[in-house]
A and B are shown apart, each in its own frame.
Chain A
Amino acid sequence: MRTIVVGLGNPILSDDSVGIKVAALVRERLPADAGIDMTEAYAGGLRLMEAIAGYDRAIIVDAMKSGAHPPGTIMRLSLDSPATTRNTLCTHDGELSTALALGRDLGLAMPESIEIIGIEAAEVEQFGEELTQGVSGALPQAVAEVLRLCGVRDFALKRGRP
């Protein structure tokens, strides 16, 4: 089973970068032989679909701005969830579900399973490399959640003990 973890968002737009930061921390903690690929993407659309084509499973980590939860709240979503994350739609190349349907129509191998981890953001309109406090505080739990989805439970793996 081939799995890809995608950190989605803008790396210089405050809390919008949380997906990318989580993915980077997951990368550090995953053993090299875990067989899990990591990537960052800005948004998508077609681009996101192209990034996850060929994998059996995709885990997408993205900021969300529902306004209904305190910043830092972590939600597990699916493509059918009524809740929202910010970057699975791109102004230029469309929405992910349409792109996935296109990929399937064209016979591309689309992941059987797509899970979305949404992290409630506070500031997404101000440029900056730092997360706000509430969102920053959620990083360890978000990383643990992605690792759990990846089937990696022991942080000690990072230190090379299988």
Chain B
Amino acid sequence: MSRISIDPITRLEGHGRIDIFLDEEGDVANAYFQVPELRGFEQFCVGRLAEDMPVITNRICGVCPEAHHMAASKALDALFGADPPSAAKKVRELLYSAFYVTDHTTHFYALGGPDFIIGPDAPPGERNILGVIRKVGLDIGRQVIDCRARNHHVIKTVGGRSIHPVAGLPGGWSRPITAAERDEIVVIAKQNVEFALFTLKVFDDIVLKNPAYLDLVTSDTYSHATYYMGLVDERNRVNFYDGMVRVVAPDGAELVKYHARDYASHIAERVEPWSYLKYPYLKAVGWKGFVDGPYSGVYAASPLSRLNVSDGMATPRAQEHFERLYETLGSGRVNNRYRPVHFRLATHWARLVELLYAAERMLELAEDPEITSPELRTKPGPITGSGVGCVEAPRGTLTHHYEADERGVLTRVNMIVGTTNNHAPMTMSIRKAAERLITKGKVVEEGMLNRIEMAFRLYDPCLSCATHAAVGRMPLRVHIRDAIGGIIRTVSRG
């Protein structure tokens, strides 16, 4: 048996490693995705005051502090029995929409898009945002940087601090929006809508109008028929900030819709000896291994998953693009809703539909008369002992669960973060891509490895920002080993 290790995974994960084992024939025997987990977060938190959690949890990772801040604030609402006034919910959702705009924009232009805009087989040094602007034009780069800057400005204004917001409180929000700030945010939200439409046009021109890319997107190599999870509003439409957790089966039938506080009744976590990661799965279906289909409890939680569980988008232009996605890639409707799309690379398209939704929703909220209300806080009541807060992080459903004693001192902390939901699907996607791409007699080349990474990158996994990559370079080393571990051949980049 020989082994191929992709270490580290370019652009996404310094700690992560993909190991591909080949049998004597040169076919893929197995593929693993491994990552050392950061330890001790629960111990770090226990004994602290619960109300500190919005500013502690947003330090876990610099990529989505806003998502942790929101989930933590919502968990505190429940822990202190203080349902925020409607204006506070709107202000939170406004900040969260601005965050989604920056996050999805960054992923498309810096991480996911280059595989299509530059090409999956292009040298890795060109498959980045620099390559994108060199191909599509400097103006796109300016728009990306401007989009990030104006939305970071909104996050700082509304959240009280740049990067790591501080305004979330049990029962509400500490900082009202002034009329002048509102006017500025309206302008920014309108720019975001235009930018999202422009980005969908880029996707349309570069990916959808290219038959080779459409074939790639719809190829079996990148397809898995699993269950899907996401938050939906009262009309079963996508919502990032609030709602019920809906899970649908591979054929689109609703398996369950539950309140996030009941997550432990529906989700269990599988432990495998070869990885620190846990693999969440649906209790009602059960763990059947790394396989898809209706009898396997594996589920995905991603932009495509959110669209798959919903009946539509809550804003008009996002709804048009939602329909276009399903009319183009889907297999018809059943019970008045589209059947799920299982082509995982379509996640990139779904992310852009969500980008448009986030922009439109931000504009709706900014124009809501209540958004400048100073009534942003419900006074906390007696501590209930337990609180669950759930939002859709860009990378999947994010759940915080805190337990505290009568003084508000934390006694237990549990979190299921966005990426964790997708550990099993990511492992399956990597295995399948490796099996299809590496077969006996084929020389393992750089482009092939990138196509395996694409199976992983589409989930936009966030495992840790830390990396051991060289400053200014991102090496990728692949060792092809013989049965006793000797290196037969090394493919490297960087």
Contacts and interface: CB of A to CB of B under 8 A. Distances in A.
Interface of A: 10-13, 16, 41-43, 46-47, 50, 65, 77-99, 101-103, 105-106, 108, 116, 124-128
A102 B13 CA distance: 21
Contacts of A102: 129-130, 133, 141, 145
Interface residues of B, number: 51
Given A79-B471, A128-B44, A92 B465 contact: yes
Interface of B: 11-14, 36-41, 43-44, 56, 59-63, 103, 106-107, 110-111, 128-130, 133-134, 138, 141-142, 145, 148-149, 152, 163, 460-474
22 contacts: A13-B466, A42-B63, A43-B465, A46-B129, A78-B471, A80-B472, A81-B470, A83-B471, A86-B466, A87-B466, A89-B474, A90-B63, A90-B465, A91-B461, A91-B463, A93-B106, A95-B473, A99-B129, A108-B145, A125-B37, A125-B38, A127-B40
A95 B474 CA distance: 8
Contact of B462 (A84, A92, A116): A92
Q: Is the interface of B mostly helix, strand, loop or mixed?
A: loop
Contacts of B469: 84, 89, 95
B128 A94 contact: yes
Contacts of A41: 62, 163
A43 B62 contact: yes
B66 to A, nearest CB: 13
B465 A91 contact: yes
A48 to B, nearest CB: 10
Nearest to B103: A92
Contacts of A116: 471
A46 B36 contact: no
A84 B465 contact: no
A125 B36 contact: yes
Nearest to A95: B474
Contacts of B464: 91
Contacts of A93: 63, 106, 110-111
A102 B128 CA distance: 10
Given A11-B59, A91-B12, A42 B40 contact: no
Nearest to B59: A12
